[in-house]
Amino acid sequence: MSTDFSRNAQLFERAQASIPGGVNSPVRAFRAVGGTPRFIARADGAYMWDAEGRQYIDYIGSWGPMILGHGHPAVLEAVLRAARDGFSFGAPTEREVELAEEIIRHVPSIEQVRLVSSGTEAAMSAIRLARGATGRSKLIKFEGCYHGHADALLVKAGSGLATFGHPTSAGVPPEVVQHTLVLRYNDIEQLEAAFATHGADLACVMIEPIAGNMNFVRASVPFVKRLRELCDQHGALLVFDEVMTGFRVALGSAQSVYARALPGFQPDLSVFGKVIGGGMPLAAFGTTRKIMQNLAPLGPVYQAGTLSGNPVATACGLATLREIAKPGFYEALGASTRSLVQGLQQAADEAGVPFASDCEGGMFGFFFGPRLPQNYDEVMATDKERFNRFFHAMLDRGVYLAPALYEAGFVSSAHTAQDIAATVQAAREALRAA
């Protein structure tokens, strides 16, 4: 276990006096892995430096947005230029139109988008739109999928078939989640039973196509195929939460990955965040023009936001999307990610440590267990204590992984072959130590 670095420890103690738990988002507190959080002072390219001046190879990437690495020159220039023109106007700008057009250009399922400021806001609004468009109340989500902290989505699965959710956060009354059903990820039989019982009342099904809040768990192709069929059969909308996977796993996002296996596949509604903001607070939801016409000011579904389409955030996101759309970008990014994952797998195999790994585009995950989990229960059955030891052993060697078993990792175009090699060597040492 890492020893506390005095400056980080001092800052954490100070933070706890003025900020609940000392952090503004819970996973940053290192509660899952133990020890003291590193307070980051700056970042550049594939690296971060903490308050002690120690350098780390960064595989968090601000939890996904930094697909180009930190401080990419084209993005930085665009942000600085936009900031000089003004931070916020509360009025339309040309750039938010350009960003919407750029998203639509790369995602065939989308004809219109609404820009917002966070993934939580986008997911919450997408569900409201689905309910307004269908006139139905019930929704399905899956255990282990995180769609932000809106009340109706803070629900965990029960043990029974198609169990109605119970709040997993204080402050969420049971009646708020009474229309939320929680099912097991990748369980076709349970999915079919839920539709058989509640299909006529379902407004939507929301899913992370690659669940990045269970570390990295893919929805199987047969599961997605059956989900699409059941939504079509019963008139429910299929909502892909691509806050994490959007423009991270492919230029067309995760839905394009499934479309390669299922020709013609499209979700009905899509939710984006992270990469489309390039590190700034920005997210979006979108679908067909017909469904989007239900939104105010055109329709009865209300949604608004003072900072939606913020001019600095849109500049950051637009510059990011234009860079990642350049030829060869995803081929190179995917090759780097595969090199990392294969290296980690080889290091674990050499050490005789049960280890399973997977990746897509610039997103990856690994588990200390003999096979890749298919749902939340299987994730929970992997070796958490070994992960915690490995995390600290890697941190001690200058590699910053997500401080929790349940979070995916991210590679950027700024990671070099030397960075990957250094990470794999650190893993060899860490696996012996852990």
> What's the confidence (pLDDT) of residue 162?
33
Q: Which residues pair with 205 in a beta bridge?
A: 140, 238
Q: What is the pTM of this model?
A: 0.94
pLDDT at 185: 97
The token pair that represents 280 in the structure block = 């700034």
Q: How far apart are CA 337 and CA 68, in angstroms?
A: 13
Under 8 Å between Cβ of 104 and 286: yes
Residue 52: pLDDT over 60: yes
Q: Are 18 and 12 in contact (CB under 8 A)?
A: no
Q: Which domains does the chain have, with CATH numbers?
A: 6-71+327-433 (3.90.1150.10), 73-324 (3.40.640.10)
State residue 175 phi and psi, 5-degree precision.
-70, -20
pLDDT of residue 228 exceeding 70: yes
pLDDT band at residue 96 using 50, 70 and 90 as cut-offs? very high
Question: Mean pLDDT throughout 139-143?
Answer: 95
For the annotated catalytic residues, the residue numbers are 146, 241, 274
Two structure tokens written together for 6: 């005095």
Residue 253: Cβ within 10 Å count: 28
pLDDT digits (tens, 9 = 90+) for 6-23: 899 999 999 999 999 999
The pLDDT assigned to 412 comes to: 98
Q: What's the pLDDT at 155?
A: 73
pLDDT score for 167: 55
Per-residue pLDDT at 255 exceeds 60: yes
Q: Is pLDDT at 79 greater than 50 in this prediction?
A: yes
Q: Flag whether pLDDT at 5 surpasses 60.
A: no
Q: How far apart are CA 314 and CA 282, in angstroms?
A: 8
The DSSP line for 369-399 is: SSS---SHHHHHTS-HHHHHHHHHHHHHTTE
- Calculate mean pLDDT across residues 372-376: 96
Mean of pLDDT over the chain: 94
Q: Which residue has the higher pLDDT, 36 or 177?
A: 36
Q: Are 379 and 366 in contact (CB under 8 A)?
A: no
pLDDT in tens, 333-370: 999 999 999 999 999 999 999 999 999 999 999 999 99
Spatial CB neighbours of 378, under 8 Å, sequence gap ≥ 6:
none
Instruction: Provide the pLDDT for residue 1.
Output: 44
Task: For residues 166-181, give the mean pLDDT.
Answer: 77
Confidence of residue 156 (pLDDT cuts 50, 70, 90): low
Residue 260 pLDDT greater than 50, yes or no: yes
Q: Which residues have C-beta within 8 Å of that of residue 143, sequence separation ≥ 6?
A: 156, 157, 182, 183, 184, 185, 375, 376, 377
| 157 — pLDDT class (breaks 50, 70, 90) | very low
